[in-house]
Amino acid sequence: MTALDRRTFLRISASGAGGLLIGFGLGCKDKAKPKPSPGPSPSPTPTGDGTELNGWIRIDPDDTVTMIVPEAEMGQGILTGVAMILAEELDADWATVRAEHAPADAATYGRQSTGGSTSTRANWDALRKTGAAARAMLIAAAARQWGVPLAECDTEPGKVVHAGSGRSERYGALAAAAVHETPPDEPPLRDPARYRLIGKPTPRLDQRPKVTGEAVYGLDVKLPDLRVAMLARPPTFGGKLATLDATAARAVPGVRDVVEVPAGVAVIADHTWAAMKGRDALVVTWEPGPNAGLSTEQVSATLRELAPGGVVVRADGDAAKAIAAARTKVTATYEVPYLAHATMEPLNATAVVRDDGAELWLGTQAPSNVQQTGAEILGCAPDQIAVHTMFLGGGFGRRSQVDYVAEVLQIAAKTKGTPIKLVWSREDDTRGGYYRPSSLALCEGALDGDGWPVAWRQQIASPSILERFGPLPKGIDDTAVEGVANLPYALPHVHVTYGKPDLPVTVWFWRSVGSSQNAWSTEHFLDELAHAGGKDPVEVRRRLLVDKPRHRGVLDAAVERAGWGTPLPAGRARGVAVHESFGSVVAEVAEVSIETGAPRVHRVVCAIDCGRPINPEQIEAQMESAIMYGLSAAMHGAIHFKDGRVVEGNFDTYPVVRMREAPVIETIVLRGDAPPGGVGEPGLPPLAPAVCNALLALTGKPVRSLPIRLA
C-alpha cells in the first residue's frame, strides 16, 4: 500500500471525546459526491475531504471500541460480523466492542446499500487492514511513551504490553496519542492460527437489546406530535385515481386530514387505528388502466410463448445434436410464480419535511437511495436529507426499494414540520409491492449408453430485474440465468438461452434472486436424468463435479451426516441438491414423507463452504433462516392475478411455514482458508430441489411447478 493509497484508505483523527477515530475505505462502495447530511450523527465526522471513506472505528478513552457500520442490520448479523473482523486485527477486548448503524452520509461513507450477501465478502481485506493499522498505531504510541523499541511491544486484548518491563496500557489511555502516529504502509495481519474471535461461535452484539425490547425498529419510532398515515392505492398495476369522496373518512375520530399523492389517497390520523378506519371510510373509484385483464394464466402463457426463443447465454459443444442422437432423453418444463417478500415487519417510514430538507427514520437496505429519492421529490440536494437507519424486521431485498420512501415524503411535504409515520398493512405489502419474478424453464437432457448425463439444454423465460437500471448487455439479465449460466457439472454439451417477457408486474431482488428458482430447475432436472439412467443421484453429482472440490466437499459432508443410503422409516425418502451462489457452496439433504396428501419435511442436513467462517453461530442461524424462508416458498408461496389485481392479501392467503411444519435442521460449517463468501442467501436455493428430489424418490413423479402440489 503506497502512501497515497494509505491516505485514500485511512483517515486518522481525534474523536470528540479525545480518542482515536479511523475512517477507512470499503471495496464494495461507490465513491460519494455530496456533502455530509445534516442532523445528529452517532460519531464525529472529521473535517476535510472524506469522500473515499466508508466506515469508521472509534476508540474512546473509556476503552469502548465502536464500529460505525454503513450496512443495514436486518437479522443477518452484520453488525457483529464486521465488529469481529475489526476487533480480531485490533486485538480488542470483545467485552468493550460496540457497533451501530451509520447515518446516511455519502461523503463520509460512500454509497450505502446492503444486499447480495456482499457486506463481509467485499470488505474482508479492508476491515482486517483497518484493524491492524489501528493496532500498529496504538503500539507505536505506547512504545514512544515508554521509550522502548516497537519490536519489544505486543498486544493483549484491549491493551499494549511490554514484556521486558511488565508494563501495559489500555487502548483507551493510548488513543489520544495514537492519533499522531502514522499507520504502516502494510500493517501486519494476525496469523489465523492466533485468532481469538474469527471462527469462534460469538453471541451477537444486538442480541440483548432485541431480547429486552430495547432495539428500535422503524415501527417503534416515536416523535413529538407524530401523525400516522395510511394510503389507499390503485388495486391494479398502472391504475390511477378516478373519483374521491373523503367526507366520511374525515368524520372518523382521530383523522386529521385526507390528501392526494401520486401513489393514491393518504389518510393522516393521530394513530394507526384511526388511519385504518379512515381509509376504510373513503369512497373512492379507480381507473383500472391498461393492465385490467392481467391474469395468472396470461403470465404463464407469455412465459411459455417466449421460452423457446431467446438469446444464447452459454453454448458448449452441440447440445441439440447430442440430444437428437441420444437413445435416452428427458424433457421437462419447470415453472415458478411471482413471490412476495413478506417481511415480518411491514413497510413503514417516518419523515418530517422542513423548508431546508427532510429527516427520515426507517428500516432500509439502501440509505443512499433514500437520500437521492428525497432530493428528487423535494428538489433539494441529497445532503439535505438526513436518514437514520433503524433495525429492519426483515429485508430480503424489499427494503432496498424506495417506493414507500417516496410516499411518506410526498405526504409529509403537505404537512411541513409535522412528523408523519407511513404504515403499510400486510395486505398493502402483499398487493402493492415488488415481487420475485416468475420464471419458466424448458429443459432437455440426454444420457449416454451407460445412463450418464452428457447433454443439457435449458431455455429460460423470466421478467428482468436489471433492465430497471438500463439496457441489458447482449439482452441478458444475469440474475435471471445465474446458477444455469454457470452450471457446475462437467457435461460436454450445454446450451442455455434467455428470453425476456414484457409483463406489467413490478419485480425486484428477492432473497437469493435468480438462484432461488434456477437451483430448483437444474437440481431437480439432474435427478430426473439420474432416475432415467438408473443412477444414484449422489453418484451422478460426484461424477459430474470432478473438477469442483468445494461442491464435492459440501456434498460429501451433507450426505454422510444425513446417512444417505441407510434405511428410513416406511414412507420416507431423501433428496439432495447442491448449489453455488454469492461466493459460497451449499449442499442440502431433505428427509420427506407425505402426510394427508402434502409433503412433510422432517429433517434437513445442510453443509456450507463459505470460505473462512467468521462466526459459525451466525452462519448456522442464517442457514436455518434461509431454509425456512425457502421452505415457505416451496410449500406455499405464490402470487396470483385476476382482473389485473393481486389475489393474495394476508398470511391466510399467502401463508408461510408454521412452527409445526418446521423440520429439524442440522448445519455443517466447513472450515476453509479462502476469503469469506456470502451467508445470508446461499442456504435457500438447494432447499426446494432437495425436497422435490425426495418426493421424486418417494413417488417416482417429478414436481414441475411450485409451490408443491401433489394432487
Question: Is residue 43 predicted with pLDDT exceeding 60?
Answer: no
Residue 258 and residue 256: Cα distance in Å, rounded?
7
Q: Is 474 exposed, middle or buried (0-12, 13-18, 19+ CB in 10 A)?
A: exposed
The residue ranking higher by pLDDT, 296 or 118, is 296
Residue 202's pLDDT is what? 96
Residue 17's pLDDT is what? 63
Query: What's the longest Cα–Cα distance across the chain?
Result: 84
Residue 599's pLDDT is what? 98
What amino acid occupies position 559?
Answer: V
The residue ranking higher by pLDDT, 35 or 678, is 678
Do 210 and 615 form a contact (C-beta atoms < 8 A)? no
Residue 150 and residue 171: Cα distance in Å, rounded?
16
Per-residue confidence band for 354, with pLDDT thresholds at 50, 70 and 90: very high
Q: Is the peptide bond before 707 cis (omega within 30 degrees of 0)?
A: yes
Per-residue confidence band for 265, with pLDDT thresholds at 50, 70 and 90: very high
Taking residues 194-218, report their average pLDDT.
96
The count of residues in the chain is 711
Q: Tell me the percentage of the chain whose pLDDT exceeds 90.
A: 85
Residue 53's pLDDT is what? 44
Residue 122's pLDDT is what? 83
Taking residues 387-396, report their average pLDDT.
96
Per-residue confidence band for 46, with pLDDT thresholds at 50, 70 and 90: very low
Taking residues 516-545, report their average pLDDT.
99
Residue 57's pLDDT is what? 85
Where does residue 90 fall: left (phi above 0), alpha (psi -120 to 50 degrees), or beta otherwise?
Answer: alpha
pLDDT tens column, 587-604: 999 999 999 999 999 999
Where does residue 565 fall: left (phi above 0), alpha (psi -120 to 50 degrees), or beta otherwise?
Answer: left
pLDDT tens column, 332-349: 999 999 999 999 999 999
The residue ranking higher by pLDDT, 151 or 113, is 151
The alpha carbon torsion through 520, 521, 525, 527 (nearest 10 deg) reads 0
Taking all residues of the chain, what is their mean pLDDT, rounded to a whole number? Answer: 93
Where does residue 619 fall: left (phi above 0), alpha (psi -120 to 50 degrees), or beta otherwise?
Answer: alpha
pLDDT tens column, 556-584: 999 999 999 999 999 999 999 999 999 99
What structural domains does the chain harbor? 3-205 (3.30.365.10), 218-289+347-423 (3.30.365.10), 296-339+435-699 (3.30.365.10)
What amino acid occupies position 596?
Answer: T
Question: Is residue 361 predicted with pLDDT exceeding 50?
Answer: yes
Taking residues 646-656, report their average pLDDT.
98
**How many CB atoms are closer than 10 A to CB 397?**
22
Residue 96's closest CA among 105, 87, 106? 87
Where does residue 669 fall: left (phi above 0), alpha (psi -120 to 50 degrees), or beta otherwise?
Answer: beta
Residue 16's pLDDT is what? 66
Cβ contacts of 643 within 8 Å, gap of 6 or more: 236, 292, 293, 294, 295
Per-residue confidence band for 70, with pLDDT thresholds at 50, 70 and 90: confident
Residue 54's pLDDT is what? 52
Least confident of 21-35, 125-139, 606-620: 21-35
Per-residue confidence band for 9, with pLDDT thresholds at 50, 70 and 90: low
Do 486 and 518 form a contact (C-beta atoms < 8 A)? no
Strands 420-423 and 227-232, by their bridges, are parallel
Residue 393 half-sphere exposure toward CB, CA atoms < 13 A: 17
Cβ contacts of 90 within 8 Å, gap of 6 or more: 57, 65, 131, 132, 134, 135
Per-residue confidence band for 29, with pLDDT thresholds at 50, 70 and 90: very low
Q: What are the grid coordinates assigned to 510, written together?
A: 428477492
DSSP secondary structure letter of residue 338:
B
Q: What are the grid coordinates assigned to 100, written together?
A: 451501530
Taking residues 526-547, report their average pLDDT.
99
**How many CB atoms are closer than 10 A to CB 344?**
11
Question: Is residue 619 predicted with pLDDT exceeding 70?
Answer: yes
Taking residues 406-413, report their average pLDDT.
99
Question: Is residue 625 predicted with pLDDT exceeding 60?
Answer: yes
Residue 568 and residue 572: Cα distance in Å, rounded?
6
Do 573 and 700 form a contact (C-beta atoms < 8 A)? no
Residue 465's pLDDT is what? 98
Residue 8's pLDDT is what? 42
Residue 27's pLDDT is what? 52
Cβ contacts of 456 within 8 Å, gap of 6 or more: 319, 443, 444, 445, 487, 489, 491, 493, 494, 495
Residue 231 and residue 239: Cα distance in Å, rounded?
14
Residue 169 and residue 142: Cα distance in Å, rounded?
7
Residue 102's pLDDT is what? 86
Residue 604 and residue 620: Cα distance in Å, rounded?
13
Residue 567 and residue 588: Cα distance in Å, rounded?
18
Residue 10's pLDDT is what? 63
Per-residue confidence band for 55, with pLDDT thresholds at 50, 70 and 90: low
Q: Which residues pair with 69 in a beta bridge?
A: 101
Q: What are the grid coordinates assigned to 350, written together?
A: 417516518
Q: Which residues pair with 507 in a beta bridge?
A: 435
Residue 69's pLDDT is what? 87
Residue 28's pLDDT is what? 45
Residue 44's pLDDT is what? 33
pLDDT tens column, 308-340: 989 999 999 999 999 999 999 999 999 999 999
DSSP secondary structure letter of residue 547:
T
Q: DSSP string covering 140-200, please?
A: HHHHHHHT--GGGEEEETTEEEETTTTEEEEHHHHHHHHTTSPPPSSPPPPPGGG-SSTTS
Question: Is residue 37 predicted with pLDDT exceeding 50?
Answer: no
End-to-end CA distance of the chain: 63
Positive or negative torsion for Cα 129, 131, 135, 137: positive
Q: Tell me the percentage of the chain whose pLDDT exceeds 70.
A: 93
Where does residue 300 fall: left (phi above 0), alpha (psi -120 to 50 degrees), or beta otherwise?
Answer: alpha
Sheet holding 159-162, edge to edge: 153-156, 159-162, 167-170
Q: DSSP string covering 305-333, please?
A: HHTTS-EEEEEES-HHHHHHH-SEEEEEE
